[in-house]
Chain A
Amino acid sequence: GLTKQQKLDRISALPGQPRELTFSHFSGYVTVNEEHGRALFYWLTEAATSAQNKPLLLWLNGGPGCSSVAYGASEEIGPFRINKTGLSLYPNKHSWNREANIIFLESPAGVGFSYTNTSSNLKDSGDKRTAQDALIFLIRWMSRFPQYKFRDFYIAGESYAGHYVPQLAKRIHDHNKASSRPVINLKGFIVGNAVTDFNYDSIGTIMFWWSHAMISDSTYHKIIKTCNFSDENTSTKCNEVVNYASNHELGDIDQYSIYTRTCM
């Protein structure tokens, strides 16, 4: 029962994939701006069982500039993980497509396989256009996959997706207000380690460094005394003391996972 375009987007097999798959997956491009030639790349992995009854989830990563299939799709919630040679895939037994149909979106144009025919677009991206393009992507993608219209829909993500996810949710919410029967049936969103508020996030980060004994008392007090994170631009003195903490006290660790070895 696939349409012509869905057949074109269907992935028959990925190089190095585990032999038998219990789900269908699709990928391809959706144009979001004809004038500038912006097109976003998606990868839909349908639910492993009863896909037609399961909700739809859109996953976005962080950055800005890093919402690619390297992270959510290939390291975290997708059905496949990539082995270290980059030649084969192995199954992720905790893949979220056990519970939902999942779309991974490379966003905005310029990330991963997503592209723009207007090179200046790579230098004038920002939150607003990213949210607008993502909304247009969703509307057009649902025209391509109408079986997902009116389906329970959620958004998820991490890190700078703390901006992308609520901003897209707001765009959808505003878009839906104009319709008596909205096609995008947005129910909610979930975000991890999310960038939320520059001032409070910054203070909370310094508190974490100190409370986890990653920086000295002296450096902690200097940062608290010197830095005013509510200012639009941080001062040179503040940058110096934060850089000192990063370069001389945090040490050669993986700041994204403080008890994990760094990748050599």
Chain B
Amino acid sequence: CTENYAEKYFNRPEVQKAMHANVTGIPYKWTACSDVLIRNWKDSEDSMLPTYKELIAAGLRIWLFSGDTDSIVPVTATRFSLSHLNLPVKTKWYPWYSGTQVGGWTEVYKGLTFATVRGAGHEVPLFRPKEAFILFKSFLAGKELPKS
């Protein structure tokens, strides 16, 4: 329900003033998602895999993660898509740890790291904030996720 709290907060005039927002008087309420944009979206690439190939070749650090209780873009969707990149494995599949708990599983490919986050839904840092933070720190440091 946290989205509803945001709808209340960001529509308060004093919040908008403090954030220097809505200075032109937008003719609609602040809302988390724009239904008009969703309904009228014009171009959407069928597949991002060719872009991934190009960016991997450019040497960017690329990580994908997946909360494993999401059924909108679930872990099997991401794994199935990623498998079609045919990337060689650098570090074999292993469970990564958050303290004494399994945070999820991960595999490091050449050019891309994939990790799951156990018990997290679509918004991973909402459901598993500590584990998401570990993931982020490892990503920034360019290190593999902790094995213990």
Q: Which residues of A contact B (CB under 8 A)?
A: 8-9, 11-16, 27-29, 41, 43, 55, 63-66, 68-72, 74-77, 81-87, 89, 92-94, 96, 98-100, 108, 110-113, 115, 122-128, 154, 156, 158-159, 162-163, 166-167, 169-170, 173, 186-205, 207-209, 211-212, 214, 250, 254-260, 263-264
Contact = CB atoms under 8 A, between A and B. Distances in A.
Contacts of B144: none
A201 B122 contact: no
A154 B135 CA distance: 14
A156 B60 CA distance: 13
Interface string B123-139: 11111011011011101
Contact of B58 (A100, A173, A209): A173
A68 B62 CA distance: 23
Nearest to A173: B58
Contacts of B79: 204
A125 to B, nearest CB: 5
Given A9-B20, A112-B10, 11 more contacts: A14-B15, A66-B34, A110-B34, A127-B44, A163-B48, A189-B60, A193-B78, A205-B71, A254-B121, A257-B67, A259-B69
Given A75-B2, A169-B60, A205 B73 contact: yes
Given A75-B6, A166-B55, A192 B71 contact: no
Given A127-B44, A166-B51, A94 B72 contact: no
B140 A154 contact: yes
B28 to A, nearest CB: 9
A94 B128 CA distance: 10
Q: Which of A128, A154, A197 has the most CB of B within 10 A?
A: A197
Contacts, number: 320
A194 to B, nearest CB: 6
Given A63-B37, A74-B2, A198-B47, A256 B136 contact: no
Interface string B31-43: 1111111101111
Interface string B47-59: 1110110110010
Contact of A68 (B33, B38, B44): B33
Contacts of B136: 77, 96, 99-100, 156, 190
A128 B44 CA distance: 8
B82 interface: yes
B97 interface: no
A125 B40 contact: yes
Contacts of B38: 63-66
B20 A27 contact: yes
Contacts of B1: 84, 263-264
A163 B52 CA distance: 10
A95 B9 CA distance: 19
